[in-house]
């Protein structure tokens, strides 16, 4: 564990566990009903994934800056995205687009056998790897790449979670879903987005629209 992570962990100590339980109680009040997701949220130390100066605010229900004009999503958004992706089912393989600091991947790692997360900003991808390792989470693979170009000739995913907003569903992603798999993505413009779920049924796709959200835009390219 790096010195910064060690100080953050030591500074909050057991208080962070109590704070996480209060966060989970708030998530229930906000309508999150999947107890498996709530248990995962209770287990992941969010304060390790934010800057040391913001560690005391880690369990507030707000997005926080992580550098490079990116944010760690508010806990409710992470819980809701995971709830929609899980849809009450066990998950085997999960793909995340827009890994950021690694927090949502850490939650997904509690819900799935293996998580692949793609982050286009190299420094954030490196930080996510370090933090996930420090948190003892070993079933997440972090890749520095352009998520809009994600492809696979072999692997199909039970769930794909996109943590950035797009006007349309990237055309490469639906084909990466296994039969019955769910893609969760915020769709819309800069000021109005809706969490949207695409479920694969053979060669047909069912589309559902859910909550209003605000995400940074899904960009192309690799840094």
What string of DSSP letters covers the chain?
A: --HHHHHHHHHHTTHHHHHHHHHHHHHHHTT---HHHHHHHHHS-GGGGS-GGGGGGTTSSS-EEEETTEEEPPHHHHHHHHHHHHTTS-EEEEEEE--TTSHHHHHHHTTEEEEEEEESSHHHHHHHHHHHHHTT--SEEEEES-GGG---SS--EEEEEE-SBBSS--TTSGGGEEEEEEEEEEEE-SS-EEEEEEEEETTEEEEEEEEEE---B---S--
Known catalytic residue at 8: no
Please say whether the beta carbons of 171 and 152 come within 8 A: no
Residue 173, Cα to own-chain centre: how many angstroms?
Answer: 16
Confidence (pLDDT) at 2: 46
Cβ–Cβ < 8 Å for 101, 131:
yes
Distance (Å) of CA 2 to CA 8, 70, 130: 10, 22, 8
- Annotated catalytic residue, options 8, 73, 81, 166: 73
Query: pLDDT of the chain along its 223 residues, tens only?
Result: 444 444 444 444 445 788 899 999 999 999 999 999 999 999 999 999 998 888 889 999 999 999 888 899 999 999 999 999 999 999 999 999 999 999 999 999 999 999 999 999 999 999 999 999 999 999 999 999 987 777 666 679 999 999 999 999 999 999 999 999 999 999 998 778 999 999 999 999 999 999 999 898 888 766 6
pLDDT score at 210:
97
Residue at token pair 């695409």: 198
Q: Residue 184 forms beta bridges with which residues? A: 161, 197
Q: Largest Cα–Cα distance of the chain, in whole Å?
A: 51
Residue 78: per-residue pLDDT:
97
3-213 falls under which CATH superfamily? Vaccinia Virus protein VP39 (3.40.50.150)
pLDDT given for residue 69 in this prediction: 85
């Amino acid at each position: 564990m790096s010195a910064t992570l060690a100080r953050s962990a030591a500074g909050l100590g057991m208080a962070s566990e109590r704070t996480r339980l209060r966060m989970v109680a708030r998530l229930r009040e906000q309508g999150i009903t999947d107890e498996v997701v709530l248990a995962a949220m209770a287990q992941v130390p969010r304060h390790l994934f934010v800057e040391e100066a913001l560690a005391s605010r880690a369990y507030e229900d707000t997005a926080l800056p992580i550098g490079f004009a990116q944010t760690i999503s508010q806990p409710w958004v992470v819980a809701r995205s995971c709830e929609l992706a899980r849809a009450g089912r066990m998950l085997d393989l999960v793909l995340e687009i827009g890994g950021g600091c690694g927090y949502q991947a850490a939650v997904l790692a509690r819900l799935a056998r293996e998580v692949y997360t793609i982050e286009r900003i190299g420094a954030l991808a490196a930080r996510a790897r370090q933090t996930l390792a420090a948190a003892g989470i070993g079933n997440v693979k972090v890749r520095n790449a352009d998520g809009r170009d994600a492809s696979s000739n072999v692997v199909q995913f039970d769930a794909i979670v996109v943590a950035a907003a797009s006007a349309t569903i990237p055309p490469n992603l639906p084909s990466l879903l296994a039969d019955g798999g769910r893609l969760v993505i915020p769709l819309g413009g800069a000021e109005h987005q809706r969490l949207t779920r695409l479920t694969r049924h053979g060669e047909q796709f069912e589309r559902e629209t859910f909550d209003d959200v605000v995400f940074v835009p899904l960009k192309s390219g690799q840094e």
